[in-house]
């Protein structure tokens, strides 16, 4: 059972955003996608393969997923110069070797652990992938002459209550510091909410439950989320990657994708049941299972530490800090990495949120503390 883009838009209750990414500016460039075996990574690879890059390097730690992504890209664009690199972004030495060989000019960093409840159970793993992996990729890019780096972030980074969200917010803040340093890496982050139909999201779960005639499971009747289609997310990411940001001295490199209005998960489930239940079969009911570890009833796209400003690309906003906060130091990252590798889950969680609180404080308050 599959859902077309138009049917997905109907379920979301809004029209599909037209594609506008300036792919011509990416033609002839050496491009790397980390996390290429994931839903967003694969969709980015398929889209970028159409713009005739000089080379397209796909990096992931999943051999099965990487093979599937490679096969899909070669089938869609047989002439593209695409290579796979089986590599964990947490392994700096191995990742540096990959960068030495590929010498990318543009890196789209989609590698991440995304399940909130799994991050709560395995906080060290979450930190190592979602934060240390970002540092490793940026340092490897800098060592090879620099270029543009695009971090894929999440709305869970706004007012984070989970380790997953906190690790992504720290990664955004690290990108902010890299951009401010102006030492060869043009770093930006793009933050957005749920992507409709991606692997592990509620949509394929609901579809399978409806196919089996089982009850559709929703955690809470009031839970709501921001959604966009995969095609829309990819297009806006590539707009951010391919757009000249201009003289942005003092401006934040964190961009927000326009997600529209949030949708109640219960309403989505009921629409899917009504639309997808085969004729002649009683529709599945909706049952509520309770929130998982670290989950919120509602996500937000920004918090009290930032303000949304216009950006010169339709569908994108800039998230500007309301106060100048202190930078994340290499010592901060090194200490947190050591804790993530050797500390207990409780200590890792405490250190993540303590560091985030320190970095989000305005500089004068941080110095006074």
Active site members: 156
- Pure H helices in the chain: 5-12, 39-49, 63-76, 92-102, 116-121, 123-127, 133-143, 163-181, 202-212, 230-242, 265-276, 330-342, 345-360, 363-368
In whole angstroms, give the CA distance from residue 192 to residue 194.
7
Rounded CA separation 57/32 (Å): 5
Give exposure, 195-219, as e/b (b: 16+ Cβ within 10 Å): bbbbeebbbbebbebbeeeebbebb
114, 132 in Cβ contact below 8 A?
A: no
Tokens of 123: 């906080």
Residue 250 tokens, joined: 């003092």
- Find out whether 117 and 293 touch, Cβ atoms under 8 Å: yes
- Of 269, 300, 304, 271, the residue nearest 286 (C-alpha): 269
- Residue 353 CA to its chain's centroid (Å): 20
Q: Tell me how far apart the alpha carbons of residues 114 and 152 are, in angstroms, rounded to a whole number.
A: 11
Residue reference for tokens 């960093």: 109
Give the pair of three-digit tokens for residue 181. Answer: 């340093």
């Amino acid at each position: 059972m599959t859902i077309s883009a138009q049917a997905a838009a109907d379920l979301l209750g809004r029209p599909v955003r037209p594609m506008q990414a300036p792919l011509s500016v990416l033609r002839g460039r050496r491009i790397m996608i980390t996390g290429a075996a994931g839903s967003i990574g694969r969709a980015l690879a398929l889209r970028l393969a159409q713009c005739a890059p000089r080379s397209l390097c796909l990096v992931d730690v999943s051999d099965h997923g990487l093979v599937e992504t490679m096969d899909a890209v070669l089938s869609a664009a047989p002439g593209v110069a695409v290579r796979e690199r089986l590599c964990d972004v947490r392994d700096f030495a191995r990742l540096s070797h990959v960068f030495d060989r590929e010498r990318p000019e543009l890196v789209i960093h989609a590698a991440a652990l995304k399940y909130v409840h799994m991050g709560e159970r395995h906080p060290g793993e979450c930190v190592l992938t979602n934060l240390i992996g970002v540092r490793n990729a940026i340092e490897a890019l800098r060592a090879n002459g620099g270029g543009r780096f695009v971090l894929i972030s999440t709305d869970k980074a706004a007012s984070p209550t989970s380790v997953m969200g906190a690790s992504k917010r720290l990664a955004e803040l690290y990108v902010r510091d890299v951009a401010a340093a102006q030492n060869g890496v043009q770093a930006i982050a793009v933050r957005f909410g749920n992507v409709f139909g991606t692997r592990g999201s509620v949509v394929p779960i609901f579809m399978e439950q409806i196919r089996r005639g089982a009850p559709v499971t929703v955690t809470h009747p009031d839970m709501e989320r921001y959604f966009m289609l995969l095609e829309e997310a990819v297009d806006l990411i590539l707009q951010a990657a391919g757009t000249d940001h201009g003289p942005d001295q003092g401006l934040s490199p964190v961009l927000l994708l326009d997600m529209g209005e949030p949708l109640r998960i219960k309403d989505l489930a009921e629409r899917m049941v009504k639309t997808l239940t085969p004729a002649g079969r009683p529709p599945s009911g909706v049952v509520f299972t309770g929130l998982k570890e670290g989950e919120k009833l509602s996500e937000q796209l920004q918090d009290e530490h930032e303000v949304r400003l216009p950006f010169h690309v339709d569908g994108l906003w800039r998230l500007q800090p309301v106060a100048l906060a202190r930078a994340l130091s290499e010592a901060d990252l090194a200490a947190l990495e050591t804790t993530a590798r050797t500390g207990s889950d409780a200590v890792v969680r405490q250190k993540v949120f303590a560091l985030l609180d320190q970095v989000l404080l305005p500089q004068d308050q941080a110095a006074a503390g």
